[in-house]
A = this chain, B = another copy of it.
Amino acid sequence: MAEATAPPTRRLEILSAAAELFARRGYHGVSIGDLGRAVGLTGPALYRHFRGKEALLAEMLLDISERLLTEGGRRVEAAESPALALDALLRWHIDFALDNPALITVHVRELGNVPQPQRREIRRLQRAYAEEWVKVLRVIHPDAADDRARSATHAVFGLLNSTPHSTGDLSRDAMAGLLHAMASDALTGAFRS
């Protein structure tokens, strides 16, 4: 019974619904039953697609981390100057955050609920992504300390990732422009002697 044909997008459909629910109510605030219901199934049906709830979360965070890192790296390599590389990182992160607010929220909040084998891998990817930023910043500001560049990077992440909590007052483009301006200026401020 159920749907005529189960499309191969079922996994993605579940992941997408899960992201939305996890962002809104938190990982532990969402049951397997809720998750199933969100895609028109019963709870246990999810075990046909994922090993369990933790595995689902792990896959979600892993995917986000990989997307951030690989696309970020790609854009840095394609940039023609360090300043443009930084700009590319900024635009990439802003676009991602504005297009996937739920993913960003989960990515920031729920790492602690991923079990250990995969948790480390996700952290590794997150760190590598941050290092992408640090690397560019260090070229632009050669005599700045590493610590400072790293802390500044995390602060900018905090600024950019705050989008989901800003209850959409501005249009998407206005918000993108605002975030870009603020983050750019924050980064120059971070390295003013």
Contacts and interface: CB of A to CB of B under 8 A. Distances in A.
A166 interface: yes
B178 A159 contact: no
Contact of A170 (B108, B148, B187): B148
B181 A183 contact: no
A151 B165 contact: no
Contacts of A25: 112
Interface string A117-149: 000000000000000000000000000000110
Nearest to A158: B162
Copies of this protein in the complex: 2
Interface in A157-193: 157-163, 165-166, 169-170, 174-175, 178-179, 181-190, 192
A174 B26 CA distance: 33
A109 interface: yes
17 contacts: A26-B26, A109-B109, A147-B169, A148-B178, A150-B166, A151-B178, A152-B178, A155-B159, A155-B162, A155-B163, A155-B178, A155-B179, A155-B182, A158-B159, A159-B159, A182-B190, A185-B188
Nearest 10 pairs of A and B residues by beta carbon: A158-B162, A185-B189, A28-B28, A159-B159, A182-B186, A186-B186, A147-B169, A185-B185, A154-B166, A181-B189
